Amino acid sequence: MSEALLARFVSTFRRAIRGEMEAMRARLGPFEVVLGEGELLDAEGDRARYRYGLPSVSDKLMVGIECSLRTGGREALVTVERLGGGSVILRGGRAIELGATATLVVYPWFLYEKLERALEGLSPQTFEVERALSLFGRGEPTRRARSLVLDHGVLNGSQQAAVQLCSDHSLAFVWGPPGTGKTRTLGHVVRELLAQDKRLLLVSTTNAAVDQALSAIAAEPDAAAAIERGEVVRLGRTEGETHGAGLREVLGRMHGSRTAALAGLRLRHRDVGVQLRRLEHARTRLAEAAPSAQASLFAEPEPSALRAADLSGVFGAAWAARLCRLPHDALDAVLTRRGARLTRLKVLCKNAITAHEAALRADEGSVVASARAVLATLTGAYFSPLLEGQRFDVVIVEEASMAILPSLFYAACLAREATIMVGDPQQLPPIVQSDDAHVKRAMGRSIFEVTVPDPHASEHVVMLDTQYRMHPRIGELVSSLFYGGRLQHGSGTDARDAIAQRAPYPGQPLVIVDTGGEGRCETRAGSGSRHNGQSAELCVQLALEATRAGAESVAVITPYADQARDIRTRLDRAGGDGRIECSTVHRFQGHERDLVIFDTVDAAPMRPGVLLNDTRPGSAARNLINVSLSRARGKLIVISDVGYFERSAPGSIVTAALAGMRAAKARVVHEGAR
């Protein structure tokens, strides 16, 4: 039964993955990562290794991925061998041109190709397929009541219930609305399961979410001690704080002598290479200055034409000065002998490096295999060779509502006992490029929608019900619109009240700026994205006023990429600083700001866009608006043509949100009266 079901799931997912890859090729194409200065590390036969500076990082760039390296107008296929320390090591051919501007061209569908192959390799004999089928509602989860080992008294009632659910059930969903302490609760879940001697894999869709989860875990002394012992390991590259759990940090503590020896060998290998290049340059100059054979018959041998500076870096200063006084043939013989010696030394260094690298890879595997908690991105679960063959008692997925279903299915196959999904089905769903109905169904739905479509009625779901982020009036708006009025508001509102008291609109946590038909919504030639110059200018004025009044963080959020670019350009011209950030909604998932300015953009003469006016079942419009509004700690300003939405989109979530704001006694400002 499980084999037949597995085959059906894999077939469904493979078809969807192929459809999504086709859409990605058509819509997105590859993306580029500009590299810094490059150097040749070593070469053997027709293969070589290169190190390039990496000024910026991307979640899509990871060890093992194949890319195209563009240098000097040429492209070469390379594989990312190592990332970290502000550099990337690439493995490729020997014809790569150094010194030219280098760009790494990454094809994002490569990861989907890897996922498809990983799914093909699933079998009930080697993977925990029953656990994945249970996650997708094709098996009966189990429950065994357990007494919690640790004291979780600092948590509120719903947070404690979530810890208990994760302890007792083989399938658990922790529903964490905005500001309800989801990450903190997750940290307690991990600590509790570790105390119960469970082995855990914690994954998420982004490195940032993994970093947040690790920070929540590391905040407690017992977890910090486990990290120090190498029991908690964070895989993958990140610019965030690793709290000593990064794989390289753990290796340094567990196998410090080997890592130090390898670093020394690499430095020695590079120095020898530099000496050989300088030596070759000196021999070339010596050959060019060689005396003619005719002259040598009638004259005493003269000192070579080289200077001590020509031999610097190959010989010591005093020795170089003496060598320069030797006759040409004698010096040439010395340089030949030194070259042969350096060549042998370089080969020995290379062999030693290869041996140490092999041993270090074995050490990496040993560290991961002995770790009791491993943290990685969801992609890493099927991509990282270090996780190949690894199995865990419990697999936890943070931001599970944003994860594509095939990757969740694979990750669940690594869990022997339980799977825990942590997320919010009312926030952003998985992102897919394809418009194909099958792709949307098999990849674009939230796991909550698939397994617990009525989460309030499921015994496998606990909703965290007390929010601590938003001003109570903002929280009440979000609760009534998206959570059936079930959210309570935690104490300690002084900081949020202080934000609301500042300009713009002092004392008002909720504000509607009604553009009243004055704005104009347009699209640029060749772009389907929208922009509205009047609302863009309003965003800039209000954001600058907020920072002048003391706001420490301002988010300007808009559904449209073109509008975001327009606002950023205007902010730059107006002298905006780092406290103001403008982007589309997806950039702010999981974040919060003192003040949020949400620009709906849509206005005459265009009809409301599908991003805001899609009322079809499963539409992401509600989720998009929820994320936009719920990022605000103390003040929420919505810029919108109210009458336009009431006339043109009476059933939209934007219209409902504007009505909800008025019902919550939001201040309504008419733009002409500002």
Cα separation, 670 vs 642, whole angstroms? 10
Q: Which of 443, 463, 483 corresponds to the end of one domain?
A: 463
- Enter the tokens of residue 197: 């001697």
**Cβ–Cβ < 8 Å for 213, 187:** yes
Residue ending a domain, choose from 463, 478, 510: 463
Residue 207 lies in a domain: yes
Report in angstroms the alpha-carbon separations of 2 from 6, 175, 420, 428. Answer: 6, 29, 21, 32
Cβ–Cβ contacts within 10 Å for residue 459, how many? 12
- Note whether 590 and 658 are same-domain residues: yes
615 and 478 housed in the same domain:
yes
Dmax (CA) of the chain? 110
Model pLDDT, residue 395: 98
Contact 50, 76 (CB under 8 A): no
Residue 73 burial class via C-beta count within 10 angstroms: exposed 0-12, middle 13-18, buried 19 and up:
exposed
Same domain, 598 and 642: yes
Statement to judge: residues 419 and 506 lie in one domain: no
Contacts of 76 (CB under 8 A, 6+ apart): 68, 69, 92, 93, 95, 96
C-alpha separations of 503 from 113, 479, 534, 542 in Å: 51, 25, 21, 9
607 plus 626 within the same structural domain: yes
Report the sign of the C-alpha dihedral through residues 451, 455, 459, 465, in that order: positive
DSSP state of 312: B
- Please report the sign of the dihedral spanned by the C-alpha atoms of residue 419, residue 423, residue 427, residue 428: negative
Neighbours of 484 (CB within 10 A): 10
CA separation for the pair 222, 219 (Å, rounded): 9
Quote the tokens at residue 519.
Answer: 């704005």
The residue ranges of the chain whose pLDDT is under 70 are: 1, 57-60, 290-305, 617-618, 672-674
What's the domain count of the chain? 2
State the first-to-last Cα distance of the chain, in angstroms, to the nearest integer.
68
In a domain, 486, yes or no: yes
Residue 654, H or E segment? helix 653-663
Residue after which a domain boundary falls, among 417, 437, 463? 463
| Nearby residues of 494 by Cβ (< 8 Å), 6 or more positions away | none
Amino acid letter for position 197:
D
Q: Are residues 484 and 620 in the same domain?
A: yes
481 in the same domain as 446: no
Q: Would you state the pLDDT for residue 168? A: 97
Burial class (CB in 10 A: 0-12, 13-18, 19+), 605: exposed
- Alpha carbon 370 to its chain centroid, in Å, reads 25
User: What DSSP string runs through 602-652?
Assistant: --TTSPPPHHHH--STT-SHHHHHHHHHTTEEEEEEEEE-HHHHHHH-TTS
Report the predicted TM-score, pTM, of the whole model to 2 decimal places. Answer: 0.85
pLDDT given at position 294:
47
One DSSP character per residue, 100-128 reads S-EEEEE-TTHHHHHHHHHHHT--TTTS-
pLDDT for residue 618: 64
Question: Looking at the domain assignment, is residue 526 inside a domain?
Answer: yes
Is 476 a domain residue? yes
| Whether 433 and 500 share a structural domain | no
Plot region of 665 (φ>0 → left; ψ -120 to 50 → alpha; else → beta): left
Is residue 518 classed exposed, middle or buried when 0-12, 13-18 and 19+ CB atoms within 10 A define those classes? middle
pLDDT of residue 302: 56
User: What distance in Å separates the CA atoms of residue 483 and residue 370, rounded to the nearest whole number?
Assistant: 42
Residues 90/107, Cβ–Cβ less than 8 Å: no
Position 349 in a domain: no
Helix 2-27 with 405-412: angle, nearest 10 deg? 140
Residue 585 lies in a domain: yes
Comparing C-alpha atoms, which of 644, 668, 645, 641 is closest to residue 655?
Answer: 645
Query: Do 407 and 554 belong together in one domain?
Result: no
CA dist., res. 110 & res. 80, Å (int): 13
Measured between alpha carbons, how far is 111 from 225 in angstroms, rounded to an integer?
A: 35
Q: pLDDT tens digits for 556-571?
A: 999 999 999 999 999 9
pLDDT the model gives residue 57: 67
Burial class, 635, CB count within 10 angstroms (exposed 0-12 / middle 13-18 / buried 19+)? buried
Residue 549 and residue 629 in one domain: yes
Domain that holds residue 586: 468-673
Alpha-carbon distance of 176 to 191, in angstroms, equals: 18
26 found inside a domain: no
Q: Look at residue 251 and tell me if it is in a domain.
A: no
Q: Phi, psi at residue 379, to the nearest 5°?
A: -60, -40
**Per-residue model confidence (pLDDT) at position 327:** 83
- The one-letter amino acid code at 519 reads G
Find out whether 34 and 103 touch, Cβ atoms under 8 Å. yes
Q: Looking at the structure, do residues 450 and 476 belong to the same domain, yes or no?
A: no
Contact 282, 305 (CB under 8 A): no
CATH number at residue 194: 3.40.50.300
Q: Same domain for 431 and 487? A: no
Structure tokens at 277: 């290049």
